[in-house]
């Protein structure tokens, strides 16, 4: 059985022809057909597929490079904007510092002005107070003069024993006395001690001088 | 031989039909004859595969744009593998573009002719017929010789086969060896590697499938019939393994073609 099978297959193969018996001997139609098939497929790939795809690849490459350039541009722009922003910030800071400095100077000026005004005011108040004091002293001196005259006449009347009943004559006497006193005709040392004569006269002159000026 | 002997002894106990192991005759599938030309099944499938492949390629690449559609994206994946991983890596960025169409065509053609061996309608690799690998090898053979002779001239091409700095007496031997390599070994191995892988792979699958059917239909007793189950499983495993081999051989064929061209393109030996 085994032998017959082998024999029959060998016979069958031999009968079929050269192309099919020996697998290593090409069936020449297939070889030529393979070349034709290759030519067709090569034409398709070389004329249709490869050019289209390579073109797409190149465009893609260009697009990617363009995208990178665009990104670089954007970055440069952003950096410029940042620099500008920082410059503006520095400017604003400088301005703020200047404003602060100005305000401080202005404040100092205001304080100085206020201090001057206060000084003026205090000077003015002091002046008016002094003037008032002077006026009051003047007034006191005038009233004192009248008082002194009356007291001295009373005193003199009591001492002399001669009552000057007549007020008008008395007043005339006092006035003439005071006038003499002012003009310097009366020497007070005639009444007082001789030792203090000069200084007292000067004092009296001085006092009277003051009084006269005030009046 | 052992397989056929085993197959022959198995049915002897059953007394049924004897098992016929697959022979190279299973690859002989004539369809019809036109005069002296015998058109085979493989030729028909080659035509169908080439036609469909061409149409799909034209369709997917027609509106190629910067932003790829789904179809273009798919095509780019298939196209970029031989373009970048084979052509550019082997030949170098400077001159690879000229050879991209050739290598892409070789890759696609070998790949899909191989895959016909795992496609349920064909289950017969077109490249299992030696005529097709020889045709493709012929193209590669002509191209790399042509590029070399264009680059160095005919005399320069032969002179380039002898590495410089060899002692005088060894030069003839090296020249002879190189001559054999360039003109005989390279094309022979390129064609036979592809053919042998596809041929043997198909034979093995065929053996397992027919063996499994024989066990199932003519097995004597439940034990032998049950043996068809692991045999079928083994056939399935072999199909998966063959798919891997089919991809790998397409890659190897293209890679070697690119390396031969690269050797011709590069200036140094």
Q: How far is A97 from chain B (nearest CA, A)?
A: 56
pLDDT at A8 over 60: no
Residue % of chain B over a pLDDT of 90: 57
* pLDDT of res. B30: 87
* pLDDT of res. B35: 87
Set of chain B residues whose Cβ sits within 8 Å of the Cβ of A28: 131
Set of chain A residues whose Cβ sits within 8 Å of the Cβ of B98: none
Output B17 or B250, whichever has higher pLDDT: B250
DSSP character at residue B37: E
Task: Kindly identify which residue of chain A lies nearest to residue B25, measuring between CA atoms.
Answer: A20
Q: How far is B198 from chain A (nearest CA, A)?
A: 12
Q: Mean pLDDT across the stretch B112-126?
A: 90
Closest CA to B125 of B133, B115, B135: B115
Q: Mean pLDDT across the stretch B202-215?
A: 92
Are residues A38 and B75, on separate chains, in Cβ contact within 8 Å? no
Report the predicted TM-score, pTM, of the whole model to 2 decimal places. Answer: 0.66
What is the Cα–Cα distance from B26 to A150, expressed in whole angstroms? 176
Q: Record the tokens describing residue A104, joined without a space.
A: 């401080």
Q: Distance between terminal CA atoms of chain A?
A: 180
Residue % of chain A over a pLDDT of 70: 70
Output B220 or B244, whichever has higher pLDDT: B244
What is the Cα–Cα distance from B190 to B132, expressed in whole angstroms? 12
What is the Cα–Cα distance from B144 to A49, expressed in whole angstroms? 23
* pLDDT of res. A196: 47
* pLDDT of res. B21: 84
**Residue B41 near residue A28, CB atoms below 8 Å:** no
* pLDDT of res. B8: 44
Mapping DSSP to helix (H, G, I), strand (E, B) and coil, where does residue B31 land?
A: strand
Mutation for testing the A interface, residue in B47, B130, B192, B218 having most A CBs under 10 Å: B130
What is the Cα–Cα distance from A128 to B42, expressed in whole angstroms? 138
pLDDT in tens, A116-142: 999 999 999 999 999 999 999 999 888
Confidence of residue A146 (pLDDT cuts 50, 70, 90): confident
**Residue A27 near residue B36, CB atoms below 8 Å:** no
Set of chain A residues whose Cβ sits within 8 Å of the Cβ of B39: 29
* pLDDT of res. A187: 59
**Residue B211 near residue B19, CB atoms below 8 Å:** yes
Q: How far is A72 from chain B (nearest CA, A)?
A: 22
Confidence of residue B79 (pLDDT cuts 50, 70, 90): very high
* pLDDT of res. B194: 95
Q: Mean pLDDT across the stretch A146-175?
A: 73
**Residue A201 near residue A189, CB atoms below 8 Å:** yes
* pLDDT of res. B268: 58
Backbone angles phi, psi at A96, to 5 degrees: -60, -40
pLDDT at B142 over 60: yes
Q: Which of A118-122, A160-164, B242-246 has the lowest mean pLDDT?
A: A160-164
Residue % of chain B over a pLDDT of 70: 93
What is the Cα–Cα distance from A155 to A43, expressed in whole angstroms? 162
pLDDT at A68 over 70: yes
From residue B47, alpha-carbon distances to A32, B105, B115 in Å are 12, 15, 14
Tokens 């083994």 sit on residue: B234
Q: Which of A50-54, A200-204, B78-82 has the lowest mean pLDDT?
A: A200-204
User: How does B7-26 read in b/e, with b if 16+ C-beta sit within 10 Å?
Assistant: bbebbeeeeeebbebbbeee
Task: Kindly identify which residue of chain B lies nearest to residue A50, measuring between CA atoms.
Answer: B101
Are residues A34 and B24, on separate chains, in Cβ contact within 8 Å? no
**Residue B14 near residue B7, CB atoms below 8 Å:** no
What is the Cα–Cα distance from A165 to A155, expressed in whole angstroms? 14
Closest CA to B26 of B5, B41, B11: B41
Set of chain B residues whose Cβ sits within 8 Å of the Cβ of A21: 24-25
pLDDT at A177 over 90: no
Average per-residue pLDDT for chain A? 78
pLDDT in tens, B186-198: 999 999 999 999 9
From residue A161, alpha-carbon distances to A81, A171, B171 in Å are 116, 17, 183
Confidence of residue B265 (pLDDT cuts 50, 70, 90): confident
Q: Mean pLDDT across the stretch A13-30?
A: 67
Q: How far is B259 from chain A (nearest CA, A)?
A: 19
* pLDDT of res. B12: 41
Are residues B24 and A20, on separate chains, in Cβ contact within 8 Å? yes
Set of chain A residues whose Cβ sits within 8 Å of the Cβ of B77: none
Are residues A9 and B23, on separate chains, in Cβ contact within 8 Å? yes
Go through chain A and tell me how many residues it has. Answer: 215
Output A144 or B54, whichever has higher pLDDT: B54
Closest CA to A203 of A190, A184, A175: A184
Task: Kindly identify which residue of chain B lies nearest to residue A34, measuring between CA atoms.
Answer: B132
- Angle, vertex CA B96, rays to CA B91 and CA B101, nearest 5: 120
Q: Mean pLDDT across the stretch B127-149?
A: 94
pLDDT at A149 over 50: yes
Q: Record the tokens describing residue A164, joined without a space.
A: 């000057």
Task: Kindly identify which residue of chain B lies nearest to residue A49, measuring between CA atoms.
Answer: B61
Closest CA to B195 of B124, B132, B119: B132
Average per-residue pLDDT for chain B? 88
DSSP character at residue B18: P
Q: How far is A94 from chain B (nearest CA, A)?
A: 53
Set of chain B residues whose Cβ sits within 8 Å of the Cβ of A39: none
- Closest CB to B54: pick one of A41, A52, A53: A41
What is the Cα–Cα distance from B191 to A213, expressed in whole angstroms? 151
CB pairs under 8 A between A and B: 150
- Chain A residues near any Cβ of chain B (below 8 Å): 1-2, 5-6, 9, 12-13, 16, 19-35, 37-38, 40-42, 44-46, 48-50, 52-56, 59-60, 63
Q: How far is A69 from chain B (nearest CA, A)?
A: 18
* pLDDT of res. A94: 95
pLDDT at A2 over 60: no
**Residue B257 near residue B121, CB atoms below 8 Å:** no
pLDDT in tens, B13-33: 444 568 888 888 888 888 888
């Amino acid at each position: 059985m085994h032998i017959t099978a082998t024999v029959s297959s060998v016979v069958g193969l031999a009968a079929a022809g050269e192309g099919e018996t020996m697998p290593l001997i090409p069936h020449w139609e297939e070889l030529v057909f393979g070349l034709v098939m290759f030519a067709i497929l090569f034409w398709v790939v070389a004329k249709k597929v490869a050019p289209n795809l390579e073109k797409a690849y190149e465009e893609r490459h260009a697009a990617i490079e363009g995208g990178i350039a665009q990104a670089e541009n954007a970055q440069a722009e952003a950096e410029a904007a940042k620099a500008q922003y920082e410059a503006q910030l520095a400017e604003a800071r400088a301005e703020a510092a200047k404003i602060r400095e100005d305000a401080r100077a202005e404040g100092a000026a205001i304080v100085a002005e206020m201090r001057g005004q206060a000084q003026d005011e205090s000077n003015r108040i002091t002046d008016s107070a002094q003037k008032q004091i002077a006026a009051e002293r003047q007034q006191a001196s005038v009233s004192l003069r009248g008082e002194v005259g009356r007291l001295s006449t009373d005193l003199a009347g009591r001492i002399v024993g001669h009552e000057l009943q007549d007020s008008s004559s008395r007043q005339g006497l006092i006035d003439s006395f005071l006038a003499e006193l002012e003009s310097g005709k009366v020497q007070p040392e005639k009444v007082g001690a001789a030792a203090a004569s000069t200084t007292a006269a000067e004092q009296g002159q001085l006092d009277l001088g003051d009084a006269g000026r005030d009046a | 031989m052992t397989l056929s002997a085993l197959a022959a002894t198995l049915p002897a106990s059953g007394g049924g039909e004897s098992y016929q192991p697959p022979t190279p005759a299973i690859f002989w599938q004539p369809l019809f004859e036109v005069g002296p030309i015998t058109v085979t099944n493989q030729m028909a499938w080659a035509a169908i595969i080439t036609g469909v492949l061409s149409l799909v390629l034209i369709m997917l690449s027609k509106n190629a744009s910067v932003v790829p559609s789904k179809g273009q994206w798919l095509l780019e994946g298939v196209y970029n593998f031989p373009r970048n991983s084979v052509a550019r890596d082997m030949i170098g960025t400077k001159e690879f573009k000229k050879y991209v169409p050739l290598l892409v065509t070789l890759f696609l053609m070998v790949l899909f002719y191989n895959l016909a061996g795992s496609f349920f309608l064909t289950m017969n690799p077109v490249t299992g017929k030696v005529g097709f690998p020889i045709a493709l090898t012929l193209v590669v053979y002509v191209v790399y010789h042509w590029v070399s002779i264009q680059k160095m001239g005919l005399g320069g091409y032969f002179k380039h086969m002898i590495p410089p700095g060899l002692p005088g007496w060894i030069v003839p031997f090296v020249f002879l060896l190189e001559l054999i390599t360039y003109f005989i070994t390279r094309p022979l191995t390129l064609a036979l590697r592809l053919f042998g892988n596809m041929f043997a792979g198909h034979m093995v699958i065929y053996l397992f499938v027919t063996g499994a059917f024989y066990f199932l239909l003519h097995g004597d007793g439940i034990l032998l019939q049950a043996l068809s189950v692991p045999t079928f499983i083994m056939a399935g495993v072999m199909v998966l393994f063959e798919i891997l081999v089919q991809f790998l051989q397409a890659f190897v064929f293209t890679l070697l073609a690119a390396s031969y061209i690269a050797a011709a393109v590069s200036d140094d030996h």
